[in-house]
């Protein structure tokens, strides 16, 4: 789960990571009620990088330019995400701008520190073209962050030793946040060095491991607030994963397992059909979850047909058939539903489908036959 910058800054504050104050707004009309000390920076709040280069970060020196900046950024589309909030933060005079992050290194299977004295918007380009300016240090999760870590980073980067005490303190706090908040990434870019030698986190980026969210109900509560797609939110409530796919697609896919979903998408694409959305039921889906998955899939306005492809292990075929039957009979949907299932209680599932007697609910004996049915009835798709 990627936090917005202002949410990451709130988390930074809990761990005493220093940074300038900020205000969050979603309506320029509220500016008249705010006490702002100029100059300031206005920054788009979206869960993606590249804001600066996309025009999502602008300076303001007075109330007029502040309102203009807010109005120009709010509503922007940055890498497919619409800006609904901005933060207003003081413009900080900097002597240097560094980069500091702690990241889960999946190759080394441990956390690692990444540091560079060349922070800012071009850090990714620096990492590609001049890797010598990027210093990495693995952290043994059993031993933890050693006292020499900051000194090692400073020496490798050619940093004046006078910056060691604040860098050591900041690194310790960032690592504590990384562990306590179940982070995959905790990043400061840029990490400002003021003319007085103070270190300030001008930006904050935090990614929380989804598997650890149950330990953080306050952060978990933010997830639905951040998700603009109502179908994704409905899927979470019902206990399954809704995945938006091709915006020009016309077929929704429901299956139990990412491998089967990808197989469906590939075979459909090879036959000229595109998938608008997919739902992963996971294992052991009950008829209630199948009913909800059918409802959510068919409520996608782009979905003209639904392809359900289930292998019945701990998920029973009769539960799948019952879930679809209950929804279709209650709602009377006329959209095409092609079902393929096999495994536990397959015969019972077939009997349930036969009892429906609906022309728009069709059983397929295999993945490829299901796709063939969708192709033949392309007019419905």
Q: Residue 292: count other Cβ atoms within 10 Å of its Cβ.
A: 22
Task: Specify whether the CB–CB gap between 310 and 338 falls below 8 A.
Answer: no
d(CA 374, CA 265): 13
Quick one: which H or E segment has residue 252?
A: strand 251-255
Helix, strand, coil share (%) of the chain residues, nearest 5 = 40, 25, 35
For residue 369, what are the contacts with CB-CB under 8 A and spacing of at least 6? 340
Residue 69 to residues 59, 64, 72, 87, 189: CA-CA distances in angstroms?
A: 7, 9, 5, 11, 22
Q: Which of 97, 99, 175, 327 is catalytic?
A: 99
> Residues in the chain, how many?
381
State the virtual CA torsion across 360, 366, 368, 373 in degrees, nearest 10. Answer: -20
Q: Please, which residues bridge with residue 6 across strands?
A: none
Based on the residue annotation, tell me whether 372 is a catalytic residue of this protein: no
User: Residue 294 belongs to what H/E stretch?
Assistant: helix 287-299
Residues 6+ apart with CB under 8 A from 224: 233, 236
Q: What three-state secondary structure class fits 30?
A: helix
Q: How far apart are CA 72 and CA 331, in angstroms?
A: 44
Cα angle vertex 281, ends 277, 284, to 5°? 170
- Residue 254's DSSP bridge partners are 279, 308
Active site residue 99: yes
Question: Among 170, 150, 169, which Cα is nearest to 160's?
Answer: 150
- Selected catalytic residue, list 5, 97, 175, 187: 187
Q: How far is the C-alpha of 191 from the C-alpha of 174, rounded, in Å? A: 12
- In three-state secondary structure terms, 23 is strand
Residues annotated as catalytic are 99, 187
């Amino acid at each position: 789960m990627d936090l917005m910058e202002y949410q990451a800054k709130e988390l930074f504050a809990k761990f005493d990571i220093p940074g300038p104050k900020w205000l969050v707004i979603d309506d320029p009309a509220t500016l008249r009620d705010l006490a702002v000390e100029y100059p300031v920076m206005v920054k788009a709040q979206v869960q993606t990088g590249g804001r600066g280069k996309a025009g999502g970060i602008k300076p303001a020196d007075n109330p007029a330019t502040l309102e203009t900046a807010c109005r120009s950024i709010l509503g922007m589309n940055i890498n497919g995400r619409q800006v609904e909030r901005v933060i207003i933060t003081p413009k900080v005079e900097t002597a240097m701008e560094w980069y500091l992050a702690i990241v889960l290194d999946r190759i080394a299977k441990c956390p690692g520190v990444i540091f560079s004295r060349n922070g800012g918007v071009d850090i990714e380009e620096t990492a590609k073209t001049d890797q010598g300016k990027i210093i990495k240090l693995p952290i043994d999760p059993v031993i933890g962050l050693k006292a020499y870590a900051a000194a090692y980073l400073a020496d490798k980067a050619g940093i004046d030793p006078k910056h060691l005490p604040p860098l050591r303190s900041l690194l310790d706090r960032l690592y504590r946040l990384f562990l306590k908040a179940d982070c995959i990434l905790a990043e400061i870019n840029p990490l400002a060095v003021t003319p007085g030698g103070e270190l300030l986190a001008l930006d904050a980026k935090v990614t929380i491991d989804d598997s650890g969210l149950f330990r953080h109900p306050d952060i978990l509560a933010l997830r639905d607030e951040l998700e603009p797609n109502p179908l994704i939110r409905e899927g979470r409530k019902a206990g399954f994963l809704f995945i938006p796919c091709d915006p020009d697609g016309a077929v929704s896919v429901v299956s139990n397992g990412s491998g089967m979903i990808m197989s469906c998408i590939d075979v459909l694409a090879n036959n000229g059909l595109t998938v608008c959305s997919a739902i992963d039921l996971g294992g052991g889906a009950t008829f209630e979850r199948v009913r909800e998955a059918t409802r959510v899939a068919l409520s996608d306005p782009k979905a003209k047909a639904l392809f359900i492809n289930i292998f019945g292990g701990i998920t029973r075929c009769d539960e799948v058939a019952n879930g679809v039957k209950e929804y279709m009979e209650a709602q009377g949907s006329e959209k095409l539903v092609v079902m393929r299932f096999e495994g536990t209680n397959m015969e019972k599932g077939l009997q349930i489908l036969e009892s429906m007697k609906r022309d728009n609910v069709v059983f397929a004996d295999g993945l490829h036959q299901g796709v063939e049915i969708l192709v033949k009835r392309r007019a419905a798709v």
